[in-house]
Amino acid sequence: MTDTNSKRLRQADIAAHAGVSISTVSRVLANEPGISEDVRRQIFKVASDLGYPIKASSIALPGTLALIASHGMTGGLSVFYEGIVEGLRSEAARLGMPFDIRLVREAKGTPETVREHMKSAGAEGLFLVGIDPAAALCNWLDESGTPVILVNGTDPHMRFDGVSPANFSGAYAATQRLLDAGHRRVLHLTGSHRHTIRERIRGFEAAVASADGGEGRVIRLPFEGNSSVEAHAATLAALADDSGFSAAFCMNDFIAVGVLEAVAEMGPRVPEDFAIIGFDDLPCAEMANPRLATMRVDRVALGREAIGMMHFRLQNRDSPARHVSHAVIPVPGGTLDERRRP
């Protein structure tokens, strides 16, 4: 500690001791982005040594990195994750949390690759967005004590924090909407290996099992190409095999669009003869003709929630893992007549 009187201490004094400009000191103390973490730490140390009063909200947070699963077909960001990215960015900026983001193939999520990404970004905290970490990565993250938030993901072993839509209850509610409209034989078109999607299958099966005379059939798509095209072909085959099914709950809205196109080709009227409900409320749901009935996921809210969870985790590293589920909201549409009752 120096003899400088803190009441007379100015940002110019901190700048002189730290060897940086006054504007850099001002930006750091205001927690503005665009300053390297090494410079931030240096300025805060000098300010503390000189006795400069620092607001608690100005203390630099550790850097964080979001690795986001790239879209398998395009190599880019899927439309579902655009909202999540918006929420991540806006909430990180609000809290002054240093934040970087990179696309990565899930198969490339090895400990070595993730460690290198975090090192180059100067990050202590990690968001895995749409990525279910493989065993080797889970073990490294657990052993290294890396603060991790699974975004639109869940860890069945509860080693890591996570935030996701309420997939089980959302799928249950979606299927119940079909059952309430009088449908008893319902298809569920799905795919993917992810834990979150398996929860949607469980919700569908539980809802069907709760209804008198309910019968469900799960159709798993290969996801080798365009999911709408695959859903179109699978629906044609399923209804040609058994025309008694009168409704479909779809894993997402892209699949629902494919089902809608197939039903329109075969002739049943929508929604009088065949009802369809999607999930996520993506832009394609509103553009479909008729508009899809679906379940809305607030993707921006998921991103904001994840930042808040990371903020807590960075300050409470030994606390038990938490998982937060956000309710999904029913969205009416022309593919389901909800006035109809058994």
pLDDT band at 29 (very low <50, low <70, confident <90, very high): confident
pLDDT band at 10 (very low <50, low <70, confident <90, very high): confident
Report the top-level CATH class of 167-296.
alpha beta
Q: Give the CB-side neighbour count of residue 279, counting CA atoms within 13 A.
A: 30
For 292-326, b/e burial (b = at least 16 CB within 10 A) is bbbbbbbbbbbbbbbbebbbebeeeeeeebeeebb
**pLDDT tens for residues 139-188?**
999 999 999 999 999 999 999 999 999 999 999 999 999 999 999 999 99
**pLDDT tens for residues 238-272?**
999 999 999 999 999 999 999 999 999 999 999 99
CATH level 3 topology of 11-58: 434 Repressor (Amino-terminal Domain) (1.10.260)
Q: What mean pLDDT, rounded, does the chain reach?
A: 90
Domain ranges of the chain: 11-58, 63-165+299-327, 167-296
Adjacent-strand bridge partners of 284: none
Instruction: Give the largest Cα separation in the chain, rounded.
Output: 87
Global confidence as pTM: 0.81
Two domains, one topology: 11-58 and 63-165+299-327:
no
Give me the mean pLDDT over the 192-201 stretch: 92
Task: Choose which CATH entry (3.20.20.110, 2.40.30.170, 3.40.50.2300, 1.10.10.10) describes domain 63-165+299-327.
Answer: 3.40.50.2300
Q: Which two tokens stand for residue 89?
A: 């960015």
